[in-house]
Structure 1
Amino acid sequence: MDPKNIPYSHEFQVLEASCPNITTEYLRSLWSLVYQSHQQNQYSKPMPWIGMNIALASLLCVLAMVADLLHGLWNRKLWFPCKYFSLNAASLTVIAVAIKLPMDPNNLMPGDVHLAAKLGTMSFMCTIMANLLPSLATKDDKELVSNVIALALLVFSLVFNFCIQITTGILFFTPDAAFYPYKISFLDRVISLGGFVVPILMLLIIYACSSLAILKSKQILESKYQTANQTALKDPELKAGRLTVVKLKQYVSNYWIMAGTGSPQFMTACSITTSASGVICAASTGYFIFLIVFNFQFLLRRKDYNRSDYKYSVLVILMIQSIGVILGTIAPLARCFATFTTRKRLIEYG
């Protein structure tokens, strides 16, 4: 490459002329560093657009979670069934794009904004997993197993790369460390693991337990539904065709109860494992909000998001995923009370 095509080549030539005591080998190594830095800057120019792609994928996840939230509120289904945001190949692909930031274990992303963005992605993944849990009940056996395995592989990859960044210290890297050295303590590593890695692994265990329960519970629900249906059809008044308004209302209420409580997704949403996932999601969200509020002044004061290759897109990712974490926690947390609210509605219907 022609040195004249590299920025600051004139300054380099002035340095070479003004320092005659510098050896040729040293000049070559110095020139090699300049050349590599220039090439790195050239190759990293598309990175902000890749960051915007991550932001777009995150936005799609947020919109899907909000759509399920509004659908549940509109239909007064406070257990919030998964209608728009379901675990399938398409959603897994979008999720894989949305969580790319912590998946890059060797890319230097210095500064508080970048650290907050990576931690926000981990919390965002917790929120996504908690929202998707009831959708497992809508799958057949083969699809359920394949989707859970695919999600497990994605989670293991995310956790593995995040743990590498914690171990190497690249997660906490800052250019100021060259002048103000800061030793990463064991407590910092433990807090990062306990606050973001452990909740994701706990949710993955809940997914495995729920999958095993769903495979058997569907058969039990179908058997109980058929038994209740046959019992209702054997009613003498129904066979004779003599139905009063009160009796008709009772039959409609009974069938409504059977249809509502016999739904596999309703059963999963009202289960203990789903309630546990809601608590885990809320705890992860609370911890992330605490970190953002505690470091908010540093995020505003240090405009260091331009130090990495992603540049301004990191700030966009952080904003979208933070909104998604907050809004996405509503449905999982509400499912913790789904059993009580649904039971109240059943009593109202008689």
Structure 2
Amino acid sequence: MGDPCTMLLMMGSNSKCIENVRRMLEKNISPMPIIGLYVAIASVSCGYAIIYNSVFMFSSLLPTNSFLFVKFFDLNATWLTLLAVATKLTGDLTSPMLSYNDNFSKISSTLFLTVAMGQFFTTLGSMNGNDMRSNVMALSILVFTILVDLCIQLRTGVLDFSLFPEIIFALVLLFCMFIAIVCSALALPAIKKHAESKHHMLVKQMEATAGQHSLNRVEELRLRVTKYWVMAASGSPQFLITRLPTFVFTNIITLFSALISILGYIRSYTTEAYWITYCPSMQSDYKWSVSLIIHSQLIAVMLPVFFAAILLTTVMSYKYEDNGIKISRKEFTVEPYWTENLVEWCQTPISMRILRYILPTKLFHDTKSLISTVCMLHQTWVVRFIKFCCVVSFYVWLPLLFLVNLLRKLLSPAHQVSNDQMREEIADLSHFVILLEGEKQLPKPLMRKIICVVNSHIKWGKNQPPRSLLNLLKQSFFYKGAIQFDSSQVPSLLSEEPPHCWTLPVMTLTTIAVALPNIANQHVDELVRCVDEGLRYASYIDVLDEKHVLKCIKNAASVVWVGVKLHKKWLDKDLGDTIREICSTREIIQGLADEAERIVKEFSSTRSQYLVENPLYWPSNVLAANSMYRISRTILLYYGNGEYQAEELFRKLICMIANILTACLINLPHLIATKCINNSLEERFRSVDNAAILFGEIEDILKLFEERQFLGIGPSQPLCIDEWLRWMECETQDPTVSTSSTDNGASSTVESNDELVIVPM
């Protein structure tokens, strides 16, 4: 289109053309404040995420709080796009920036991006190799675009020369932050590989010394969870990356970026007279939106810098506590993991499919080796420079560390009292810490925090135990009640019976108990609460059993249980007071059996034979109906033409449910051990965290099983209910009689005949 001034000169005195051009220019720049408002909204969105991320990182410094590695503000396409919008003014090469705020908005956007990149640092540990490469490449494009745009604006005079020092500092800080992130990203694959190798080695050693018997004792299981937690916490990629010198370096850059941003904002008041004198009433096309952008980005920068200062003080105090003020030459040693990934890339052979189209193959290999060597040298010197900056910052920070240490002694003298038990526990568990190469040991405050965190998680789980489930399990005597829910004398409706799972028979037995007449509503509601808590843990066991139970069978119980728990309905069949008042016990059970048989036969008659013969493709309602048919027919077969007493049957069903849940839940130690071991490196920290909370919840249940010597018994495949049924059938061949005490102290007789256990409510 050309320069507007040139166009005006060419048109000379043609006032009509001048007026048309003026209107066209006004029309073109009219949406610019709205665009600036859009940039301010993007800045507010990113700023909120940065503050949220900083608050959670700060809360992780508290002694009993977990290591909160928040992924809310993650290095991904969404946040990079928002950051590109938030820094739009930095990339504007043509709009004249006539006021101080206009010029400072470009510097503010650059520093805002620098602080945001510092928040990306810890999220690198949660990424796999492909995601990290693509995201770092996208970040590189954004950073270099801004760097080039700012340099062009300095050259063309779009930016005022009086702000030259701030611009240079902003460029240097942005580049240094980017280099620190790239160096850490290059080292992270090797760090993860060594951490995974060390974890597997420690697991083998622990399994060899502990053995399977450790799962049968509650205290041994607690110690085992603690050991796995120490390995998971110390070997977490997010925690490993915070122990790199680059983490300290990024926080230093964050502090400087925020300082320059705040000083630049204060300077706007002192230089206002100068700008008014030489540029009176002049502003850019963005007009009032520039002020919104500056203030939104300034607020987003100020809070993270406060938390970064506290984080730096904490990290450096660990070094001060372990090493005093002595810095050795080893501080400048470049560990192998910094360049290991580059070495592997250099040694990786090039695909012959690529070389087939390249004639000078030797030149290609030599170029690759040269690039790798340059990158390794660059990585080495950058790491040394970063370590040097960390050492200098440590000595600059030293007076503050002395002050913090003095205040800590004055305000909490009890903290200095030696705790022999904690010291002994740290010594025992220090062998399970996963260290970086070059690390001698983890700082003692961090070890204390790791142990305090796992203890607090176990305590938190213990404060919300499944009390109703525990009361139900106390009514279990772990005998024939666990195998009498399904009789082999009941004929099958279809050619093939689906395998059993733990949750489906429990749900079906509870449904029948809910439908029985003459049972007080409080007893029914209490049973539903007990079973609801039990099904939660039983579903965990079912998920582990990948060999014997189909996924659709596991889901059938959870789908049907929602209706039973919330609406007292089983597959739209009412189980409430209306049915219970007009029908007898036998009629209710017969009605459930007939309805279940109708559903199964309707499915077999309307679907193809292939679907009918394969339980893998049965819908949830058919699986639930088949279970209801077999269990209700078993009850009818058991009573025959005898008298049906609702209260007696209700107690028998309760005992049968308790026995099945007991047989299922003695696998909870195996569940906890599996949560601690069978997971990837990125998910292990959260999995062991959940295992510690789960242990706290079920500790009383495990102690009950330990008192009754239930742990450690059963078949060789404890996760499978079918194996349990076969094992218990063999165990109950010889008639025996035993007595046990109920929860209220009354005696109950457990007989090995056709009678089920009757336990008073």
**Shorter-chain TM-score: which interval?**
0.7 to 0.9
Paired with 2:311 and 2:241, the residues of 1 have a C-alpha distance of 10
Paired with 1:271 and 1:282, the residues of 2 have a C-alpha distance of 18
Distance 1:332 1:305, change over 3 A: farther
* Residue 220 (str. 1) matches residue 194 (str. 2): yes
Paired with 1:283 and 1:310, the residues of 2 have a C-alpha distance of 28
CA positional deviation for 1:332: 4.4
Paired with 1:214 and 1:193, the residues of 2 have a C-alpha distance of 32
Match in the other structure for 2:156? 168
AA paired with 1:58?
Answer: S
Give the TM-score taking structure 1 as reference length: 0.79
**1:182-222 deviation per Cα after TM superposition (whole angstroms, max 9, x unaligned):** xx47xx53x24431001111111112111111121111111
Distance 1:101 1:79, change over 3 A: farther
CA positional deviation for 1:298: 4.2
Which structure dedicates a bigger proportion of its chain to helix? 1
Match in the other structure for 1:116? 104
Give the TM-score taking structure 2 as reference length: 0.38
Check the 8 A contact 1:136/1:265 in 2, yes or no: yes
Paired with 1:70 and 1:58, the residues of 2 have a C-alpha distance of 18
Q: Which structure has more RCO (C-alpha within 8 Å, separation ≥ 6)?
A: 1
SS in 2 for 1:235: helix
* Residue 293 (str. 1) matches residue 266 (str. 2): yes
Alignment map for 1:195-206 (pairs within 5 Å): 195-206=169-180
Match in the other structure for 1:253? 226
Match in the other structure for 2:296? 320
Check the 8 A contact 1:58/1:321 in 2, yes or no: yes
Q: 1:26 aligns with which of 12, 20, 24?
A: 12
AA paired with 1:344?
Answer: P
Match in the other structure for 1:70? 55
**1:89-140 deviation per Cα after TM superposition (whole angstroms, max 9, x unaligned):** 1111111100001100111121011122111111101101111111111111
Paired with 2:56 and 2:253, the residues of 1 have a C-alpha distance of 23
* Residue 231 (str. 1) matches residue 205 (str. 2): yes
Paired with 1:211 and 1:144, the residues of 2 have a C-alpha distance of 7
Match in the other structure for 1:39? 24
CA positional deviation for 1:323: 0.6
AA paired with 1:309?
Answer: D
Q: 1:346 aligns with which of 443, 447, 453?
A: 447
Identify the range of structure 1 (232-241 vs 124-133) with the bigger mean alpha-carbon deviation.
Answer: 232-241
Q: 1:157 aligns with which of 136, 145, 167?
A: 145
CA positional deviation for 1:171: 0.9
AA paired with 1:347?
Answer: R
SS in 2 for 1:87: coil
Match in the other structure for 1:58? 43
Check the 8 A contact 2:126/2:237 in 1, yes or no: yes
Check the 8 A contact 1:55/1:98 in 2, yes or no: yes
AA paired with 1:53?
Answer: Y
Identify the range of structure 1 (208-217 vs 247-256) with the bigger mean alpha-carbon deviation.
Answer: 247-256
Distance 1:158 1:164, change over 3 A: same
Distance 1:254 1:241, change over 3 A: closer
Match in the other structure for 1:105? 93
CA positional deviation for 1:261: 1.3
Paired with 1:194 and 1:32, the residues of 2 have a C-alpha distance of 43
Paired with 1:133 and 1:210, the residues of 2 have a C-alpha distance of 8
CA positional deviation for 1:333: 4.4
Paired with 2:71 and 2:101, the residues of 1 have a C-alpha distance of 34
AA paired with 1:47?
Answer: M
**1:270-322 deviation per Cα after TM superposition (whole angstroms, max 9, x unaligned):** 21111101101111211221222233244599698972211111111010000
Distance 1:110 1:241, change over 3 A: closer
Q: Structure 1: which 5+ residue stretches go unaligned?
A: 1-23, 173-183
CA positional deviation for 1:33: 4.3
CA positional deviation for 1:266: 1.3
Paired with 1:95 and 1:108, the residues of 2 have a C-alpha distance of 23
Q: 2:287 aligns with which of 308, 311, 320?
A: 311
Match in the other structure for 1:18? none
Check the 8 A contact 1:113/1:299 in 2, yes or no: no
Check the 8 A contact 1:79/1:334 in 2, yes or no: no
SS in 2 for 1:171: coil
Match in the other structure for 1:11? none
Paired with 1:102 and 1:27, the residues of 2 have a C-alpha distance of 37
Paired with 2:96 and 2:72, the residues of 1 have a C-alpha distance of 36
Match in the other structure for 1:281? 254
Larger Rg: 2
SS in 1 for 2:159: helix
Q: 1:207 aligns with which of 155, 169, 181?
A: 181
Q: Structure 2: which 5+ residue stretches go unaligned?
A: 1-9, 319-442, 453-761
Same amino acid, percent of matched pairs: 25
Match in the other structure for 1:8? none
Distance 1:150 1:241, change over 3 A: closer
